[in-house]
Amino acid sequence: LLVAGQETLSRLLADGITDAPASASPLQAVAAGLERASSAMGPANRELGPRLKAAVAASTELQERDALKSVGLAAAMTGALIARGVPEPTAHLAGELGVLAFKRGYARWCESDRDDEEGLAPHALAALEDLRAATASLG
């Protein structure tokens, strides 16, 4: 279950980045990828989140699989950004921030009020904005 849909998720993230306006910054393109991927996540994904989190926490093997999944998602976003002409170091950083935003947003979504019908996208985009602001404080 942990890696189920990984190829689809990677494709959706990359497609959203590819389809972002040409004028979009790297993080704006990542936001477009997060929106595209988030649209494919429904109530079943939300319900599964806490159980997957518990299973991963209890298993070193699943933690390794989760880390590999993150690497794959970051690579998909990085590749899509490089294809847009974003320099490799910038593309890599933006892809990693995209993965972190997706994971943080997904966790917030799973923990939020079940009456919240906004879906995953607002949570992932808010997490990306938090990370963007945090990078500004790095100096």
Model confidence at 26, pLDDT cuts 50, 70, 90, reads: very high
Joined together, the tokens standing for residue 20 give 């972002």
Of 92, 75, 57, 86, the closest CA to residue 9 belongs to 75
Q: What is the spatial distance between Cα 92 and Cα 24, in angstroms, rounded to a whole number?
A: 16
Q: What is the pTM of this model?
A: 0.90
Domain presence at residue 102: yes
Please tell me the predicted confidence (pLDDT) of residue 118: 81
The answer to whether residue 1 is domain-embedded is no
Specify the pLDDT at position 50. 80
Spatial CA neighbour of 31 closest among 111, 76, 97, 110: 97
For residue 107, the enclosing domain spans 6-134
Q: Tell me: the pLDDT tens digits for 89-126?
A: 999 999 999 999 999 999 999 888 776 678 899 999 99
The pLDDT tens digits of the residues spanning 57-89 come to 898 988 888 888 899 999 999 999 999 999 999
- Identify whether 18 is part of a domain: yes
Q: Please, what is the angle between helix 88-111 and helix 43-57, to 10°?
A: 100
Q: 25 in a domain, yes or no?
A: yes
Q: State the average pLDDT over residues 23-45.
A: 93
Q: Which of 30, 32, 132 is nearest to 77 (CA)?
A: 30
Say if CB 20 and CB 28 are below 8 A apart: yes
Residues 5, 69, 9: CA angle, nearest 5 degrees: 35
